[in-house]
Amino acid sequence: MRIIEWCLKKLSYYVVFSKEALFIFGLIFVHSFVEKALVDILITHLPGVWDIPKSAKAVNLQEGTVAVLQILFAFASDAYLGRFKMVVYSTISYIIGLVLIWNAARHRNRDIRTFYLGLVLITLAKAAKGVSLKAFLDDQFMAKDIPTTEKDKERQHSRSNAWWRSASILGAIAAAFFPSSLTLLSVISAISMMVAYSWFWLGAKFSECNPPTGSAISDVLFVIKTAILKRNLLYATTPEQLFQNYKGVTHIERSISWLRWLDKAPIVIEEENRPDKNCTVAQVKEVKFLLGMVPMWTTFLTYSLVYATGSTFFFLQARNLNKNFPITFFNILVTVTSIAIEYLCDILFQKIGSEMDKQLIMQVRIGIGMAFSVICCIFAWKNPAHWLYLVKIYSEPSINMDIFSLTPQFIFLGVMEGLSVGGLQNFFCSQVSKSLRNYKTPFGECVIGIGKFLSMLFILIFSRWFGHDIDSSRLDKYYAMLTLLSFVNLLIYWLVAYWYGDDQFSPEPLVEGAQDSIGSVVSQSFSDQTPNNPPHFSVSKRGTQSFPCPARNRLDGAHEQENKQLRHIKTI
């Protein structure tokens, strides 16, 4: 009975009916179907046109571009278009791209130019969908029951995730029941996308369409630009030299030597008609914590090499073993494993108490994911080594090797993705301000994308290991090299994790140390203490507040309260 009660409690917590989400569900389902059935295994449709190295580099270029472009589309969505329009434009681009690929595939000699154009449109659509569709679904749950506490907000996100994961898994499972022909897949995908798009528009009148409110990325760029323009200035020696320096510091957190140059951004320039050259101390602090993620991101480059191999050579191995076997099975296996691991981590770590414990758990979670990348490479290395042995002995080696022998490497690929990628996103949230936490997915995907570009370089460097097909390639040597790199990277990761420790981002406090007593307040207001500070202004061209909005509102509120106290004291 206790188990049943626990299950019912969890079900009521995660599952809730939403009319708005129902119309978005179809679009999520079809996007998942198209990606698992066609886009994610695109390399299995290319070897007929190109050899293995060229096909792998083309897929890595496409997937890396999708990942890197997500930051650009996230900025455009938040600052200019809004999430609803981004979902609409990305779906239209997807439909046109699928139609072009179908048109190229239905000819005996594929029209390469049309195929390229269709692939470009799908690449842009996938990048735009990655930063808008899930966020748009979140908006529906937030608008339906506006959260008043962090616990309420977490519950709404959990319910949104339940809808998202359900639609994604169902779409992935549906992909296994369709033929592997590129012509049929592309036309079925295009028709399915049109139907889902029409269903989405039927529910558009019920959807919550939040207007663009400005992007935190523009403020990050502004701080960096300001610091570069002030690079020739001397560092501040007194707190009064820094703009809106409520804490009275001369060294802004984080104290990292290679980010010290950013401390020049909030230095007040005593020149007329130049109020737009100052950043606040709070802004600089948030940018320094964001850039402080670079060491952690660097450890994911080797991880990305393994991940890129999983979406290229792993699928080619499966196709080479059995051309009639549905390769989407392994793609679905990776997806389901990753979602299951991420869901289990959310449940296990949900009730952890202190923030320090949470951060330690995040670091351990990422480290375990890195360890599984080593295990994945070891299992992947065994299969091509055995395959090359069979090629030398048998004329038809595929008869003597079962395709399901590849299952462990795909399972471990999903495990490492569910552990490391999810852990990286949670760790990112602990290191940056609230306004930047919405960008955890674009920044994380960008790092993975850079790793996929790096994979292209590795394929070029070790080109002697790759032949025209699997039988003439030495994938065993390539996987052995990745195993060694992954192990070294695992050791480096633990050093980086130790360097971070339990250091986390904390917002700037209220006016601290600005006044020692009421008497000092009466004699000198806060604005009088910093006479060189120009008036505060908004950076965004759209008239929105710059990204430390919560901190600024608290600070402005404290300033107004202080002035009320002054007026009250003076009247007395």
Please say whether the beta carbons of 351 and 405 come within 8 A: no
pLDDT at 430: 84
Instruction: Say if pTM beats, i.e. exceeds, 0.75.
Output: yes
pLDDT at 408: 93
Which one, of 181, 167, 200, 178, lies nearest residue 32 by Cα? 167
Cross-strand partners of 242: 267
Please say whether the beta carbons of 208 and 143 come within 8 A: yes
pLDDT at 418: 92
pLDDT at 206: 82
Stated as kind and residue range, the H or E segment containing 161 is helix 150-175
For the stretch 257-315, pLDDT in tens is: 888 888 888 888 766 545 456 788 888 888 998 998 999 999 999 999 999 999 899 99
- The distance in angstroms from the start CA to the end CA of the chain is 68
pLDDT at 148: 64
pLDDT at 104: 86
Please classify residue 7 by burial: count the beta carbons closer than 10 Å to its beta carbon, then call 0-12 exposed, 13-18 middle and 19+ buried.
exposed
Residue 237 CA to residue 263 CA, distance in Å, equals: 11
pLDDT at 500: 83
All residue ranges of the chain with pLDDT < 50 are 273, 275, 510-572
**Phi and psi (nearest 5°) for 242?**
-105, 140
pLDDT at 25: 92
Cross-strand partners of 267: 242
Token duo for residue 296 = 């952690």
pLDDT at 12: 64
Which one, of 138, 134, 125, lies nearest residue 73 by Cα? 125
pLDDT at 522: 30
For the stretch 7-58, pLDDT in tens is: 666 666 667 777 888 899 999 999 999 999 888 888 888 756 678 888 899 8
Give the dihedral of Cα atoms 42, 37, 333, 363; nearest 10 deg: 60
Which one, of 162, 137, 173, lies nearest residue 36 by Cα? 173
> How many other CB atoms are there within 10 angstroms of residue 275's CB atom?
13
* Bond before 254 cis per omega within 30 degrees: yes
Residue 265 CA to residue 445 CA, distance in Å, equals: 29
pLDDT at 125: 94
pLDDT at 87: 93
Residue 83 CA to residue 129 CA, distance in Å, equals: 9
pLDDT at 326: 86
pLDDT at 263: 86
